[in-house]
Amino acid sequence: MRRTETKSLVLLRHHLKVLRLPTVAAECEKTAARCAADNVDHLGYLLQLLELELLDREKRSAERRLKAARFPTIKTLDTFDFTARPSVNKMLVAELARCEYIDKRENVLLIGNPGTGKSHLATALAAEACAKGYRVRFFRTTELVTALIEARDERTFLRLKSQLAKLDLLVLDELGYVPASKVGAELLFDVISTAYERTSLIVTSNLPFESWTEVLGSERLTGATLDRLTHRCKIIETRGESYRLKDAKARTARTTTGQSATASTKAAATPLDETPDAG
């Protein structure tokens, strides 16, 4: 009897491996024992196992999507202090977190000075999209332009373009931080116009629209780019002082008023000395 059990277990594991059901394989014995103790029938047992597999599968693919998005840092909406940035409409951000704009192929533009939370919000919104099953990729704009220029004459160019075409959401962070070359600007325009009404874009920039010509070089290209980007888009302006600077100042102020002087001085030194993240 024991021998048959072992043999069927080995076979079962094999079948589950072929069928790619790792969680069922890992949990079937434990769940069987629990169901026997709880008097759960066969169908109930099967249901419990498949639910475990589904939950795990969803978790694994969310992790894969998050990894594939290549966020430089993970940021969440929970950690965004909306009271520190009153120009940001909290309701709008909450609406965007539901990701309906992606189904409607709309864009999000985040405009504001360096350190005002643009990349934070862009990353947090894109991470929400990953969690909801959308395919996302985050790029510093210069990084993408460089990759496109490097790949231009090769088959890798088409591969990169087809990877971009498969996305639901493309984040272009720090557009305008570094002016693009003529070729770079055209390649960037090509990405933006290919995405138009097919892939949603989240674009962050420290430049107001009227200065985009400085980045893209020509009035014509700037006009055409803005036309595509801003047709059906939500704009979030992160007005005000840099969060890092404000944070550092608040800490310094606490120090000078004498609250736990040593600890605060140390804390305040870090953000001020830190090289600001670009854009």
In degrees and rounded to multiples of 5, residue 236 shows phi and psi of -115, 125
Task: Rule CB under 5 A: say whether 271 interacts with Mg ion.
Answer: no
Of 85, 140, 228, 251, the one binding ligand ADP (CB under 6 A) is 85
Of 80, 177, 196, 209, the one binding ligand ADP (CB under 6 A) is 80
Task: Rule CB under 5 A: say whether 117 interacts with Mg ion.
Answer: no
What is the C-alpha to C-alpha distance for residues 265 and 242, in angstroms, rounded to an integer?
19
Of 75, 140, 228, 251, the one binding ligand ADP (CB under 6 A) is 75
Task: Rule CB under 6 A: say whether 84 interacts with ligand ADP.
Answer: yes
Total chain residues near Mg ion (CB under 5 A): 2
- Cα 49 to Cα 5, 19, 31, 46, 131, distances in angstroms: 19, 14, 7, 5, 23
177 vs 196 by CB, closer to Mg ion: 177
Spatial CA neighbour of 126 closest among 173, 187, 166, 192 = 173
Site string for ligand ADP, 249-278 (x = CB under 6 A): ----------------------------x-
CB 137, CB 167: distance < 8 Å? yes
Of 23, 31, 119, 123, the one binding Mg ion (CB under 5 A) is 119
85 vs 137 by CB, closer to ligand ADP: 85
Q: H helices of 39-69, where? A: 42-69
Looking at the DSSP bridge assignments, the partners of residue 179 are none
Kind plus residue range of the DSSP H or E element containing 184:
helix 182-195
Site string for ligand ADP, 95-134 (x = CB under 6 A): -----------------x-xxxxxxx--------------
